[in-house]
Amino acid sequence: MPSRPVLYAQLFLCTVNVGWVTVSFVFVEHFTFRRLLFRHMWIWPFHSDSIIDSGVGDVLLNPWRELSWTEKGRGSLRKNLVSFKPACQSLNQVRVLLMGPPGSGKSSFINSVRSVMFGRVLLLPFIGTATKGFIKKLKSYDIRSERGGKPTALTLCDVLALGDGETTGLTLPDALAVIKGHAPEGHKFQSDAPIKAETSGYRPNPSVNDQIHCAVFVLNACQVMTTSEDLTETLRTLQAEISDLDIPQVVLLTHVDQVCHAVQEDVKFVYSSRILQEKMQKAAEVVGLPVSYVLPVKNYSSELSVSCNTDILLLSAVHHILQAVDDTFEDYCPPTPADASPVTGICSASPVQCQSSPVFNV
């Protein structure tokens, strides 16, 4: 006997504010209805700050950040990453350091970005889950444009998770040593052995390519509201120290699908979810950066195939990180050897100009 499909239905009180008119009604929610409702939200012919309170999470009518949720949008974001070359020519690779407490999702972000590029969810042994998410080494991951393809200009660096206090996790001096490029690849973090000149592989004079070009604070949307005072203090101190180094910083807010039903259904609602807006504001406040520096993402650990909108969210976060690096390093770019080489004559530099120059026209 075939079993009957079970219909999950829930009753919700729905309130719609249209200017000064408030309409309330009760509806039976099931998936089809919800989709229908969301679809209508986008085509309602008025602009206001009206909110639909569906009881499962407030969804704003107008997203507060625009993103193109289309295949084309994904294609162009992907192309941006593959063809990205830092504006500062002495930078070969953009090294992005991920820092966050255990369970914030640093490693799954790395795997998710790789999944986006490979076009399928990677079934790698999960980086770092073996001992409850503790990466003890400095490890850099090149992001390739496809499986076995050329590396993109992006390198994601993972380190020991941040602790709650001074004694556990990544210490401030170690974090700064990594950011300045003193720590060698594979350096093993030990709380009783801070990185110093005697550390094996220590780089006393790191080049611009050894250093970190963007510091990313990774926070879990499920936990951000209850961030401990100790962690807040750690994050703010790091933020202030990194600001002094003139290195761009952003906040990556992970697990956004777990705090809002609408987002769980489709991540394209990230910028329409009021709950998520609050979490992003809190994340900004915890680190001490403006909300515009907070980038929401969702990982690829439960699905088996990539989805367009999750890709877009991940790629858009990467895009903002690379943008932040370009904006900053344009001003602090050291000259490349090519820039310093003597000019060998205007003709070789610009033949078009030479031909039209009066000397050749005589």
Ligand X SMILES: *[C@@H]1O[C@H](CO)[C@@H](O)[C@H](O)[C@H]1NC(C)=O
- What is the binding site for ligand X (CB under 6 A)? 105, 108, 255, 257-258, 299, 301-302
Q: In what order do the strands lie in the sheet with 21-29?
A: 21-29, 10-18, 51-53, 58-60
Helix (H/G/I), strand (E/B), else coil: 8: coil
In angstroms, what is the minimal distance from the CB of 105 to ligand X?
4
Which region, left, alpha or beta, applies to residue 103 given φ > 0 means left and ψ of -120 to 50 means alpha? left
Closest CB to ligand X among residues 116, 247: 116
Closest CB to ligand X among residues 316, 328: 316
CB-count burial class (<10 Å; 0-12, 13-18, 19+) for 14: middle
Q: How far is CA 258 from CA 85, 230, 277, 279, in A?
A: 35, 25, 14, 12
Q: 199: which 2 tokens?
A: 């550390």
Token pair 């949008």 is found at 73
In angstroms, what is the minimal distance from the CB of 262 to ligand X?
14
Which sign, positive or negative, has the C-alpha torsion 287, 249, 103, 314?
Answer: positive
In angstroms, what is the minimal distance from the CB of 71 to ligand X?
24
Closest CB to ligand X among residues 211, 254: 254
In angstroms, what is the minimal distance from the CB of 218 to ligand X?
10
Closest CB to ligand X among residues 145, 223: 223
In angstroms, what is the minimal distance from the CB of 255 to ligand X?
4
CA angle 192, 197, 201 (to 5 degrees): 90
Q: What are phi and psi of 41, to 5 degrees?
A: -60, -35
Closest CB to ligand X among residues 78, 298: 298
Closest CB to ligand X among residues 108, 171: 108
Q: What are phi and psi of 290, to 5 degrees?
A: -65, 155
In angstroms, what is the minimal distance from the CB of 98 to ligand X?
13
Closest CB to ligand X among residues 169, 248: 169
In angstroms, what is the minimal distance from the CB of 182 to ligand X?
30
